[in-house]
Structure 1
Amino acid sequence: MAKSKQTYEEIRQKRMEENKKRMEELNLTKLSQSLLSKPSPVKKGKPRTFRPAAALTPVRRSPRVADMSTVSYKELPVETLERTRRSYSSRRRGFGVYASSEARAYAIDKAEQIQSRLGADFPSFLKPMVQSHVSGCFWLGLPVYFCKSHLPLSDEMMTLEDENGDEFQTKYLARKTGLSGGWRGFSLDHELVDGDALVFHLVSPTRFKVYIARAYDSENNENKEDMEEDNEGKENIDNDKNSDSKHLDGIAKRTRASRK
């Protein structure tokens, strides 16, 4: 064991001497001493610049959207815009109210009078309005017999012309026999309500002349009649009061004469 240990020490010592000779040949010892003698330069600290926080957005790897601006999902306060208040007439205030049977009958009677004056040169039909035609009003069904006899066999754009000459484009659906797109605008613009009656006069294959009979005109007439009846009732009451006062005056005069 001693011999093996001695040989190890001898081998180690020889290697150290060989390494030292190689370092001297390469001048590595001098270089290491020169490096140790030089002081290390003092590093100047750079001022720290504050950078804005990077947006936490996913990296766009697709070249198709790489050049596009990134979408921000940050919640921002929304500026509320002032909405202009629309003025509605008394008819629109009653929108959604079901018409009475008297008002509905009045409008139909008025529409029949309008239809009778149109003549038979061009076909026409009468269409009373119900809530489904004017509330939501995306659809207006037409009489099937009229559609089969006079209207196009395929879908077509129809023109609705009112009594003032204003025109509205609507979509006629042949299979469903009714007006779809554009009917809402016509209904809202003319303030149609439940109980109104319309006369559709087909003046050309794709043009209707539309006449409107208002249901609530009858309320004005009824109000006038009620006012007239109230006035007549007041006049009768006044006449009765005058006759009663005259009768009492006559009785008082007779009693005074009998006392004398």
Structure 2
Amino acid sequence: MAEPNSYEEQRRRHVEENKRKLGELRLHHLSAAVRDAAVKPMPTKQLKLRKAAAPPAPTRRSGRVASLPRQPDYRNITLPPDLVYVAEEARAYALTKAKELKNQLCSDHPSFIKPISNYAATSSWLNIRSQVNKRYLPWSDEMIFLVDEEDGEFQMPYYALRGSFGTGWKWFAIGHKLADGDCLVFQLVEKTKFKVYIIRGSSYYEKDHC
């Protein structure tokens, strides 16, 4: 009968030893904390609404740029769906009138004539290489101004290698409703500024030519 008592005694000692070790490691406190955390509901996190950002302030223009006339906004202007071609008589009439005007301009400022085709009236480029002596034009790429008969200024790049006006010409053409058969007279009034006179091909039909 001594063996069962000895076994029970050993078992009791093992249990007490384990309890002592658990106490040293404080694992029973950790398990209790985990149990309490599982039962305790997590607090609901409130969402914060972000305020809409204020619209950016208008871009400040430098004194030199601010002094220039504000460019018209042609972004909402669409090109006509159908291209219209004028008769050769109307084209020749506009060219003749352009030559007469060119002869009346001050000879101190070089000038040239540029007939307008449907392509030139709707393109983003205007090549002037063959119409004017290159010595009057900038030798490198530079911003230039076209000034219409109402003194409205239109800024656009001039590309020396191509001998043409770039982006900005399209808005000038649309804004002035240039069409096939028109003729433009360009007069170089400053190093990078041209005065532009428009002779309409359609003016042929306003005369007694029909």
TM class by shorter-chain length?
Answer: 0.5 to 0.7
TM-score, length of structure 1 as denominator length: 0.52
Consecutive unaligned residues in structure 2, runs of 5 or more: 17-38, 42-75
Offset of residue 132 of structure 1: 1.9
The CA deviation string for residues 123-167 of structure 1, in whole angstroms up to 9 with x for no partner, is 1110001122112x2110013472422112111111111111111
* Greater RCO, CA 8 A, separation 6+: 2
Consecutive unaligned residues in structure 1, runs of 5 or more: 1-12, 29-44, 48-85, 227-260
The structure that has the greater radius of gyration is 1
Instruction: Return the letter of the residue paired with 1:108.
Output: L
TM-score, length of structure 2 as denominator length: 0.63
1-side partners of 2:139 and 2:88: how far apart? Answer: 36
Assess if the C-alpha contact under 8 Å between 1:95 and 1:193 holds in 2: no
Q: Tell me, what secondary structure is at the counterpart of 1:121?
A: coil
Q: Tell me, what secondary structure is at the counterpart of 1:188?
A: helix
- 2:92 matches 1:105: yes
Aligned twin of 1:22? 10
Cα distance 1:144–1:218, how it changes in 2: closer, same or farther (>3 A)? closer
Assess if the C-alpha contact under 8 Å between 2:113 and 2:131 holds in 1: no
1-side partners of 2:99 and 2:15: how far apart? Answer: 125
Assess if the C-alpha contact under 8 Å between 1:158 and 1:172 holds in 2: yes
Large movers: runs of 4+ above 6 Å: none
Question: Percentage identity across aligned positions?
Answer: 37
Aligned twin of 1:73? none
2-side partners of 1:213 and 1:95: how far apart? Answer: 22
Cα distance 1:18–1:204, how it changes in 2: closer, same or farther (>3 A)? same
More helix by share: 1
1-side partners of 2:103 and 2:128: how far apart? Answer: 20
Instruction: Return the letter of the residue paired with 1:103.
Output: A
Aligned twin of 2:51? none
- 2:163 matches 1:183: no
Q: Tell me, what secondary structure is at the counterpart of 2:85?
A: coil
Q: Tell me, what secondary structure is at the counterpart of 1:185?
A: helix
Figure out how many residues of one structure are paired with residues of the other and give that number.
159
